[in-house]
């Protein structure tokens, strides 16, 4: 039985900065003999902080998703995010940031460097067997919308 792992992440803040939350929906699908969706398991994760930004919560969702993968010993995963900041940062920008001492192309310090360093380390720990995909936010995609609900619920709880 082959397992397919898809993870949806999101972040939210009520004010920027303000109380924030992150949400993760892990979808594990077991495919048996090419028959799709024989069994599907859903795991939800979430958390929040009292004074944060939306971008930090988007990053925390991705970090916590990769931590889950490391704890479970999972190496092949697709992470879906509606955050262009997270997607571009981890797939395009981070290599130059690291090479340039965490400076942007404009020679400014990278915002949220602490979280980018964690995300980079986790990605490397998983031997870069993580692929990243953009999902349109608030578009009616069930799992992405659920990740958003979790993030928003946690933001409201820590308010």
First to last CA, the chain: 44
Q: Is 101 a catalytic residue?
A: no
How far is it, in rounded angstroms, from Cα 64 to Cα 150? 13
Question: What is the per-residue DSSP string for 17-75?
Answer: SEEEEEEEEEEEEEEETTEEEEEEEEEEEEEEEEEE-HHHHHHHHHHHHHHHHHHHT--
Q: Is 114 a catalytic residue?
A: no
Which of 23, 49, 58, 89 does the annotation list as catalytic? 58
Q: Is 47 a catalytic residue?
A: no
Q: Is the four-CA dihedral 39, 67, 14, 112 of positive or negative sign?
A: negative
Q: Is 138 a catalytic residue?
A: yes
Q: Is 34 a catalytic residue?
A: no
Q: Is 89 a catalytic residue?
A: no
Which of 48, 82, 89, 145 does the annotation list as catalytic? 82
Residues labelled catalytic: 10-11, 58, 82, 138, 148
């Amino acid at each position: 039985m082959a397992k397919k792992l898809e993870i949806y992440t999101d972040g939210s803040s009520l004010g920027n900065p303000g109380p924030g939350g992150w949400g993760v929906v892990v979808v594990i699908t077991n495919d048996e003999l090419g028959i799709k969706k024989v069994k599907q398991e859903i795991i939800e994760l979430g958390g929040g902080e009292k004074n944060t930004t939306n971008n930090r919560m988007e990053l925390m969702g991705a970090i916590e998703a990769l931590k889950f993968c490391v704890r479970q010993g999972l190496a092949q995963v697709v992470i879906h995010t509606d955050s262009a900041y997270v997607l571009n940062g981890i797939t395009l920008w981070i290599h130059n940031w690291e090479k340039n001492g965490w400076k942007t192309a404009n020679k400014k310090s990278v915002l949220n460097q602490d979280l980018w360093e964690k995300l980079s380390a986790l990605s490397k720990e998983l031997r870069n067997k993580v692929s990243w995909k953009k999902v349109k936010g608030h578009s009616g995609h069930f799992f992405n919308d659920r990740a958003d609900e979790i993030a928003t619920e946690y933001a409201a709880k820590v308010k």
